[in-house]
Chains A and B, each alone.
Chain A
Amino acid sequence: MLREKIQETFSEAKERGWVMEPQAKDLLRVAGTDIPRFCFAKDVGEAIQFANEINYPVVAKVVSPEVIHKSDVSGVVVGVRDDRQLGEVFTELGKIKGFQGIIVEEACRGIELIVGMKMDKQFGPIILLGMGGTAVEIYKDVALRMAPLREQDAESMIKSLRARPLLEGYRGADGINAAELKRMLLAFSSLVMEVGKEVESVDLNPVICNASRCVVADARIMLAKR
């Protein structure tokens, strides 16, 4: 099942060199990670219908084969409150180059982490866990381990972050569900081992973690160059 899904996803993405968010999330769902309820809406009616199913507020994101980093082109709008605003957002995102539609997605709250993978020349697949968001390369609070992860690796990755007190619940704030994060890391590790050398790198950023869930809110899979 997973193998077939990988093949389907990669053959669609081959020419482009990277897997777009809707397809990446479908793959991650099959791999056993938790993803937000979402819909890849190609027209505004579809978007509004889905938003009403999952209830506002929602997140809207551009889907375009020309846009790898959505936030660089203002392609992500959070906290969309109602039909009218969603309609405006659809029109606005529609102006972005290569527009194919938008992702309408349930809004998740929590601490933003990044989980990633890189195919390393000397060590093969490497998994990264760190504090996520757009500032990840500034703070570089990350842990790296060689895949496949063992239970003890997933645990030590979480514990080794400088932001560990935040994850455990700092100054009265809720901590994250560490067991869910661990489960997510191990599921991702299995996926990484399955895809092998076809992938160059993966960013799951952000992975939003709260007291109950760890949800992959965005995903980007870069395929290996041929």
Chain B
Amino acid sequence: MNLKRLFKPATMAVVGVSLTNESHPANVVYNKNRLRYPVSVFAVNGKGGTLRGETVYRRIQDIPAKIDLAVIATKAEIVLSVISDCIEAGAGGAVIVSGGFAETGSADLQNRLVTIAKKSDFPFIGPNCLGVFAPAHMDTFFIPGERLVIPNRGKVAMVSQSGGILVDHMVKCAAEGVGVSLAVSIGNKTLIKELDMLRYLKDDPETNVITFYLEGFDEEEGREFVLAASQCGKPVIVLKSGKTPGGTTAVKSHTASIAGDYEVFSSVVAQYGVVEAKDEFEIVAFAEALSCYQRSIQGKVAIITGSGGHGALATDACISHGLTVPSLTKSEQTELRGVVSPTIQDIASFANPIDLTGSATDEDFMAVTRSLSRNEDIECLIVLLLPYLPRITMDLGARLSLVCQQEGKPIVAYVPHVDKYKMLVEGFMLNNVPVADSVEDAVHMAEAMRRYRPC
């Protein structure tokens, strides 16, 4: 199935627009796309008429343009006939926002939708979903624009079974400065499932990391998914709910008893190099790190900081996440001591974690970062920056990013994300260096590279 017209439409029809109720979900979608997005949008309602002076078409076939995407927000009973209309009009695909299908027991209606769509090779998302958010292009979410937190345009594609979780992740991405290429809520995932999204996003040039929020796979679908993910060439991150078994059934074998659904899921995704996030914070941190660095590390990190406490906390977090913080040799320490300013030579600690103390300058951080970037035993640098240290400037983010680009060794940074330090944060972010809002998150970012195993 070709999903291109569905996700990158030039024309959009919104079916089910109300002539009297401006807050109807279809009207929300119609209005926001008409006012704020470049896509050409047309309203459809069986009664016809006008809305704010624009024609409301009775059927999708009546629209004087070829429709790429139909957003359907009608009652469930008429969705089937609308889909038939879409197929007849040669539309490229649909997002079925409407609920009232398998989730309320109408599995039969849902199955008929699939049959008719498959017969005509017509792709649709949903039903019972928010649909598609394509930054600066279009969005089918029935959430008024002013209520939506919109992340920057970027390289992370997000697919979610739940619309609510998807919107929440977008809020977190916006807060962390993670850019999004496409966000899709697949709802009942009747026709387009995770696997179809994976195949589409694999070839999407605007995406370099793919995240999934999953509740579960259909029969054998998990197998196909991990095999496809391992061949996809882009990092795939998953967050799974339903980790605790709903009920215990009597099983006669030890293996069946131990290998519960979640234990199997977690082991198998790791076996095929898919990165499993344990919670909503990890998924965003992992996405940020892997969108900057699509590479795998064994886990040897160096920690550079201006505060011994931060270094110690970060070291603990590294160890608990399976990373190592190898001690530097005497000669490596001597070398580092030689590149910093005389003021801190005798008070700084160079063993790893490297504590440059509160007297360190931008130049000290840069010199140590550059030197460690050339150390072949170190695969990633975690730089914990405390912007309140008096001799650090707000330029350090951009300057360290330059070192990262020149030396080619991944750096992850920690800077508290408050307005006062925004320029420091952006100095990293705009130069493609991931920057965390907590020490723990910075460690998560390094961990993401350890868990990612491209085939």
Binding site for B on A (CB under 8 A): 18, 68-69, 114, 116-118, 120-124, 126, 128, 130, 136-137, 140, 142-146, 153, 156, 200-203, 205, 220, 222
Contact = CB atoms under 8 A, between A and B. Distances in A.
A123 B254 contact: no
B253 A144 contact: no
Chain A CB within 10 A, most for which of B218, B221, B259: B259
Contacts of A18: 252
B220 interface: yes
Interface string B153-196: 00000000000000000000000000000000000000000000
A116 B255 contact: yes
B257 interface: yes
B223 interface: yes
Contacts of B257: 137
Interface stretch (B93-101, B263-271, B414-422): B263-271
Given A136-B258, A200-B256, 18 more contacts: A68-B252, A69-B252, A116-B258, A121-B220, A122-B216, A122-B217, A123-B222, A123-B223, A123-B268, A137-B254, A137-B257, A142-B259, A144-B259, A144-B264, A200-B253, A201-B252, A203-B255, A205-B254
B254 A116 contact: yes
Interface in B255-283: 255-259, 261, 263-265, 267-268, 271-272
A122 B271 contact: no
Contacts of B253: 116, 118, 200-203, 220, 222
B264 A120 contact: yes
B252 A222 contact: yes
A122 B223 contact: yes
A130 B256 contact: no
A146 B225 CA distance: 12
Given A120-B261, A122-B219, A124-B223, A201 B271 contact: no
A145 B268 contact: yes
A121 B264 CA distance: 10
Interface residues of B, number: 26
A122 B255 contact: no
A114 B254 contact: yes
Nearest to A197: B220
7 contacts: A118-B264, A122-B217, A122-B222, A128-B259, A200-B256, A202-B253, A205-B254
Contacts of A118: 253, 255-256, 259, 264
Contacts of A153: 271
A32 to B, nearest CB: 20
**Interface of A (DSSP majority class):** strand
Given A137-B254, A203-B253, A121 B219 contact: yes
B226 interface: yes
B270 to A, nearest CB: 9
B258 A142 contact: yes
Contacts of A130: 258
A220 B271 CA distance: 26
Contacts of B265: 122-123
Nearest to A120: B264
Contacts of B221: 122
A143 B266 CA distance: 11
Contacts of A122: 216-223, 261, 264-265
Contacts of A202: 253, 255
Chain A CB within 10 A, most for which of B216, B251, B252, B253: B253
A136 B254 contact: yes
Contacts of B216: 122
Nearest to A122: B222
A7 B391 CA distance: 77
Given A116-B253, A122-B264, A146 B226 contact: yes
A123 B267 CA distance: 11
Contacts of B258: 116, 128, 130, 136-137, 140, 142
Given A120-B259, A122-B220, A145 B267 contact: yes
A123 B222 CA distance: 5
A114 B223 contact: no
Contacts of A123: 217, 220, 222-223, 226, 264-265, 268
Interface in B212-242: 216-223, 226
Nearest to B218: A122
Contact of A114 (B218, B255, B256, B268): B255
Nearest to B227: A146
Chain B CB within 10 A, most for which of A123, A124, A220, A222: A123
Contacts of A116: 253-256, 258-259
Contacts of B223: 122-124, 146
B175 to A, nearest CB: 33
Given A122-B217, A122-B222, A128 B261 contact: no
B32 to A, nearest CB: 37
Nearest to A141: B258
A203 B267 contact: no
Nearest to A149: B271
Nearest to B216: A122
Contacts of A201: 251-253, 255-256
B410 to A, nearest CB: 24
A203 B254 contact: yes
B256 A143 contact: no
